[in-house]
Structure 1
């Protein structure tokens, strides 16, 4: 064999060996690619061990949005890719459509499936608010229904946008890219732990600080550190208020007194007004005997009129102290809501009673005859008390006892 024939034989063997070393590329294969060219919206890579090239579109480079390709990759970078399609029919020189994003997603799905089987939780960042819930990024896209976001109704889903949440896996189907998640049970568990901690450190009578979490028509819910307590509308202020939003707003810091704790039902009753000076504090200085005050008629009864002289402070004007003229009932000369001037006849801070008189500030008409209870202070009457805080004697007058 001459030298020419020998060289041809060696060349053929080298070519055959080279061809044998080229691996056939199939859809679904995981290959290694090296960045050769960075174009406008795609990257050209050489597929290692094949002698052919592939194309990676910009959207297939990462699950995260990429604004500029050169910020994400550079010539010479190498990374694993999955073959998702062929481009053209030339097997030797043809290109392949490749994806880095889908290969990463495949690994993430495998990890999530493993956690699902082990009943583990995952962490995901809220991307968008859509109809019915939240779209989250857990390495792959997942869906968190609004009904599974919390153990109570959430009005503003947008407040969760951008937050990283710990979530339970409810349903998973990688082949359909379906991942359903829930936060409800975790919130419930956390709330129970917080509730237990609160009940362990608080006692009735304690005064603590909290933040107004929610307002309703019947009261305000105050966050005591992950656990809400209720301030009933009657415990917000000594002044009469129509609704809590008149004096409170969500996010406001307030001092509250613990009224009661019911660990079994998870209820905490609170009071704001009990942390404030009471309307009867220093009443002897605010309403000394003999002083004149302006008040509003709040209630009329057969025995007299209750007049509010300070917010939360009512005094009794006995029927005998309403007019110099004889009247059958207080309704003859007074009506609820009317503004009147009264004179303080007696003050009892401990029993929270004020004896008041209207007629003491009026000139006695000529020839008028006073009732038999003239200038008798209601607090001097002695009879059993009722829920008004005044005795029945306050209501009827000492003259009945004398008779």
Structure 2
């Protein structure tokens, strides 16, 4: 019996100690909460003017309607019991013993934490453009206002666009959700600078790495011309640009790439070279098209007399075009039946002459032509002979 009483007394003592422990832990939890803390809680009750949230203290926290503006027009209807929410502690305890909380300020805190994490990791994210001014775009990130300078907006060139055109383009971006990157963050100054260009460049780099592992030399790929320069054209293959050198634009001689392509053209290109180390891709426009050389030469045969245009004079002879991109060489020994020191003694670039095809090398795409044999076969000269040129020089001297 004594043992039984002692046992009951022990149980009673343990119960009292347990209650004291719970009370002490609750008080301790209450004391640990301070104004400005941002903590997670669980929605316990939703009413029209307030929401009660369990944040692990002895009493529930209360969020009044004026601290829930960030919920928008839906208000408390978008919350339900059991939802997890982030809340900001306004007061550790009010007159009723409740913790006074704010959803709005917690939203801003969440935004700052999120932005800091993106800045630290270099990650990209989407955010809605809420407005604009002359300097750029305004965005909202979980209650934090960020700014995208005009210089960091894709497809906007402040240095070339007029003021009205720039503002019109900025206005069109309101409501869109561009991919962004944090390039500057200063919470003390409430300053967040974002860049669409940096995020776009990150995406381009990722696409380029992927493309370099997938693309193969010899493939035909579709692309879009992004820029044109004196030495060729750059084509976007879907995340990475390749270069078409001016010599690969056409089977015919090209001096101005702008006469063959323009920015925005969609083209099929032949992949000539892929260099993973330098991350460069060499392309050809002409090799993606049927080669005209064989087709044109099929219309000609050895021994035939043809009309040609002198395109280039060199020490060992002259090149002459007979049709399209097909050119042949008139060796200096085939210019006349006498010694010729230089082709300029016979004609100049641009002259039209009659020549004879003496050899066709289909494998190397070469033609051998003869002016001398054409004259012998025709029986009369069809070019400016040396006497005519000598006379011209004499007349020029007299003038």
The aligned counterpart of 1:10 is none
The aligned counterpart of 1:278 is 291
The aligned counterpart of 1:251 is 264
What is the TM-score normalised by the length of structure 2? 0.57
Q: CA deviation at 1:272?
A: 0.8
The aligned counterpart of 2:112 is 113
The aligned counterpart of 1:220 is 233
SS of the residue aligned with 1:109? helix
- Stretches of structure 1 that go unaligned for 5 or more consecutive residues are 1-31, 34-48, 55-60, 65-71, 78-102, 367-403
What is the TM-score normalised by the length of structure 1? 0.57
* Correspondence 1:344 to 2:357: yes
The aligned counterpart of 1:144 is 148
Tell me the number of residue pairs that the alignment of Structure 1 and Structure 2 aligns.
279
Query: Structure 2 matches for 1:30-69, cutoff 5 A?
Result: none
- Whole-Å separation in 2 of the counterparts to 1:222 and 1:198: 13
Q: CA deviation at 1:191?
A: 2.4
Q: 1:214/1:329 Cα in 2 relative to 1: closer, same or farther (>3 Å)? A: closer
Q: CA deviation digits over 1:71-123, x for unaligned, max 9?
A: x89xxx9xxxxxxxxxxxxxxxxxxxxxxxxx997555323212123336542
Q: 1:326/1:123 Cα in 2 relative to 1: closer, same or farther (>3 Å)? A: closer
Q: CA deviation at 1:226?
A: 1.3
SS of the residue aligned with 2:250? coil
* Correspondence 1:295 to 2:295: no
The 8 Å contact of residues 169 and 182 in structure 1, kept in 2 or not, is answered as yes
Q: CA deviation at 1:361?
A: 4.2
The 8 Å contact of residues 283 and 349 in structure 1, kept in 2 or not, is answered as no
- Whole-Å separation in 1 of the counterparts to 2:317 and 2:183: 68
SS of the residue aligned with 1:305? strand
- Whole-Å separation in 2 of the counterparts to 1:180 and 1:302: 63
The aligned counterpart of 2:95 is none
Q: CA deviation digits over 1:168-216, x for unaligned, max 9?
A: 3344456765321134553343223212221222211111111222222
Aligned with residue 192 of structure 2, among 152, 172, 179 = 179
Q: 1:305/1:173 Cα in 2 relative to 1: closer, same or farther (>3 Å)? A: closer
- CA-atom RMSD, angstroms? 4.2
- Whole-Å separation in 1 of the counterparts to 2:288 and 2:351: 31
Q: CA deviation at 1:232?
A: 1.4
Q: 1:288/1:266 Cα in 2 relative to 1: closer, same or farther (>3 Å)? A: same
SS of the residue aligned with 1:248? coil
Aligned with residue 329 of structure 2, among 316, 323, 327 = 316
Query: Structure 2 matches for 1:158-177, cutoff 5 A?
Result: 158=169, 161-162=173-174, 163-172=176-185
SS of the residue aligned with 1:110? helix
SS of the residue aligned with 1:286? coil
SS of the residue aligned with 2:298? helix
The aligned counterpart of 1:97 is none
The aligned counterpart of 2:98 is none
- Whole-Å separation in 2 of the counterparts to 1:227 and 1:336: 41
| More off after superposition, 214-223 vs 130-139 | 130-139
Q: 1:306/1:122 Cα in 2 relative to 1: closer, same or farther (>3 Å)? A: closer
The 8 Å contact of residues 324 and 365 in structure 1, kept in 2 or not, is answered as no
Query: Structure 2 matches for 1:4-153, cutoff 5 A?
Result: 106=105, 108-119=107-118, 121-126=124-129, 133-138=136-141, 141-146=145-150, 148-149=152-153
Q: 1:132/1:218 Cα in 2 relative to 1: closer, same or farther (>3 Å)? A: farther
Q: 1:135/1:340 Cα in 2 relative to 1: closer, same or farther (>3 Å)? A: farther
- Whole-Å separation in 1 of the counterparts to 2:326 and 2:146: 59
Q: CA deviation at 1:149?
A: 4.8
SS of the residue aligned with 1:274? helix
| More off after superposition, 116-125 vs 230-239 | 116-125
Aligned with residue 210 of structure 2, among 166, 180, 197 = 197
Q: 1:335/1:213 Cα in 2 relative to 1: closer, same or farther (>3 Å)? A: same
- Whole-Å separation in 1 of the counterparts to 2:129 and 2:304: 66
The 8 Å contact of residues 111 and 144 in structure 2, kept in 1 or not, is answered as no
Aligned with residue 211 of structure 1, among 224, 230, 247 = 224
SS of the residue aligned with 1:234? helix
Q: CA deviation at 1:130?
A: 5.5
